[in-house]
């Protein structure tokens, strides 16, 4: 049996017509030395830095509990969506700092960050989170105001005379 030392030797041994199969990429968990996964989430003008670690489901946003920071139930529901889709309710503690934008954009940014951190912590959850659309950054932002216009698109009232 001849010794195979290079890719050309392998091709000649197998046959030039047979394609060489590439190894499938296996995702590995990405965690820091404290066992946390980190991700950045964005929505409108809000940017959230999110750390998740195994715990009891405690969510801290800018030093306040989720109920204090996001008082509206709709915003709290938005934050819980990634855990519901992944089937991991009350299994992770979340610590997030968020800046910019309004409360709705900030809730979306934290949701995006939590989703990205979850898939980094547990790569098996990537399929469920991706199919739900939580890993995609919502690129819709407020359109800028143009000169000669009242707002971004609204014109001043037309006067014929």
pLDDT of residue 67: 94
pLDDT band at 65 (very low <50, low <70, confident <90, very high): very high
CATH for 30-131, options being 3.40.50.980, 3.40.50.300, 3.30.230.10, 1.10.10.10: 3.30.230.10
Mean pLDDT of 48-54: 95
Secondary structure, 3-state, the chain = CCCCCCHHHHHHHHCCCCCCCCCCCCCCCCCCCCCCEEEEEEECCEEEEEEEEECCCCEEECCEEHHHHCCCHHHHHHHHHHHHHHCCCCCEEEEEEEECCCHHHHHHHHHHHHHHHHHHHCHHHHHHHHHCCCCCCCCCCCCCCCCCCCCCCCCCCCCCC
Could you tell me which residue, 136 or 21, shows the higher pLDDT?
A: 136
pLDDT of residue 9: 63
Q: Each residue of 128-148: pLDDT tens digit?
A: 999 999 999 999 999 999 999
Domains in the chain: boundaries: 30-131
Among residues of the chain, what percentage have pLDDT more than 90?
Answer: 75
Is residue 111 over pLDDT 90?
yes
pLDDT of residue 23: 62
């Amino acid at each position: 049996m001849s010794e195979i030392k290079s890719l050309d030797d392998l091709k000649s041994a197998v046959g030039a017509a047979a394609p060489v199969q590439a190894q499938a990429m296996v995702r590995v968990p990405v965690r820091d030395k404290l066992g946390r996964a980190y991700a950045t989430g964005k929505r409108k003008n809000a940017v959230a830095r999110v750390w998740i670690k195994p715990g009891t489901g405690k969510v801290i946003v800018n030093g306040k509990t989720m109920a204090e920071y996001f008082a509206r139930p709709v915003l709290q529901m938005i934050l819980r969506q990634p855990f519901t889709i992944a089937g991991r309710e009350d299994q992770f503690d979340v610590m997030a700092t968020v800046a910019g934008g309004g409360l709705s954009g900030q809730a979306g940014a934290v949701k995006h960050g939590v989703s990205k951190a979850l898939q980094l912590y547990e790569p098996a959850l990537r399929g469920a989170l991706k199919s739900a659309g939580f890993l995609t950054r919502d690129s819709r932002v407020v359109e800028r105001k143009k000169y000669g216009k009242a707002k971004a698109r609204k014109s001043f009232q037309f006067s014929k005379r």
